[in-house]
Amino acid sequence: MTYRVGIIGGTGYTGSELSRILCRHPDVELAALTSRTNAGKKVSSVNTFLKGYTDIEFTEKISDTKDLDFVMVATPRGVAMNEVPALTEQGIKCIDLSGDYRLKDPAEYEKWYGTAHTDTEGLKKAVFGLPELFRDKIRGADLVANPGCYATSAILAVAPLMKSGLAYPDVFVDGKSGTSGAGMKPSERLHHPTCGESVIPYSVATHRHQPEIAMVTDMFAGGKSDIMFVPHLVPIVRGIISSCYFRMKKEVSQEEIDSVYEKQYGAERFVQYVPEPSIRAVVGSNHAQVGAKAYGGRAVAFGVIDNLMKGASGQAVQNMNLMLGLDEAAGLDFPGLGV
């Protein structure tokens, strides 16, 4: 069976990356992409890297395309919670990449996003889409909230130690992301003379991925965690590294740390536990690299991803595969660039 998939928001970085993956997916037909400004234009005339891979045109609304099996929402926040209810009522499975369905508590959503949630029923049933930790819940789900890029990177590093019970639940997360993580809209901070040879901390104590990291850390810590998250912009286009610092309940050896992470990720296709994680090793792929070091009564763990792939579009396709009962690696089984 071939599944017909549509994307709401087909011209942003995540929507374009979804198009690139899905147009070569063995079990999927890329059936619809929406764009208010480009409606009626050939997708390949706007996203020229898709020439020869799709002949469809942008539409203004997803409802302009009939008989869809699956919809991805790749828009700024606030759109998905208005679009998703009508889609799921029709039996269409959905993934939201925007953040509208990540936080389970409507009050937390309003606190961090500055507006009330309009689909609290959907919020209750949405599954947090990090397959390596929530695979069984994602299988067969109707609505999945794709995690944020920083959140994916940090949670992959933090969760195993929290599950082990070896670390206290107060964690400092030092995140560094390339400029594509800020999206396509130009800004003063993204102006090349500002960011091209600099490292810039931003959104300290206000970044919307912080409550995601805390929410999942709470789940595995068995209680309330204390997360301090400081994101930085670095002068690369793609990639994230999150360095996560822990206080340990007792001094642990490197062998104990290795055992914790190898138990969690040893059988995973897309997460590798390695001595020295590298952004270049994962860029262009859905792979993540995780590393960890014992440091006396402390420990540090690293999570490295491509923010547009495992941090967004690649992970969304991985989730889609699980939701549809497909091979989890379908359309994603290729390595990082390496150089």
Active site residues: 149
All residues at 6 or more sequence positions from 25 whose CB lies less than 8 Å from its CB, including other chains: 317, 330, 331
C-beta separation of 144 from 138 below 8 A: yes
Q: Which amino acid is at 295?
A: Y
Rounded to the nearest 5 degrees, what angle is found at the Cα of 34, between the Cα atoms of 28 and 38? 130
Distances in Å between the Cα of 136 and the Cα atoms of 139, 216, 314, 323, 332 are 5, 16, 19, 10, 20
Q: Residue 204 is encoded by which pair of tokens?
A: 């300290």
The residues with which 57 forms a beta bridge, in sequence order, are 42
Helix (H) / strand (E) element for 72: namely strand 70-73
SS3 helix, strand, coil % of the chain, rounded to 5?
A: 35, 25, 40
Other C-beta atoms closer than 10 Å to the C-beta of 254 total: 12
The angle that helices 210-221 and 149-164 make with each other, rounded to 10 degrees, is 20
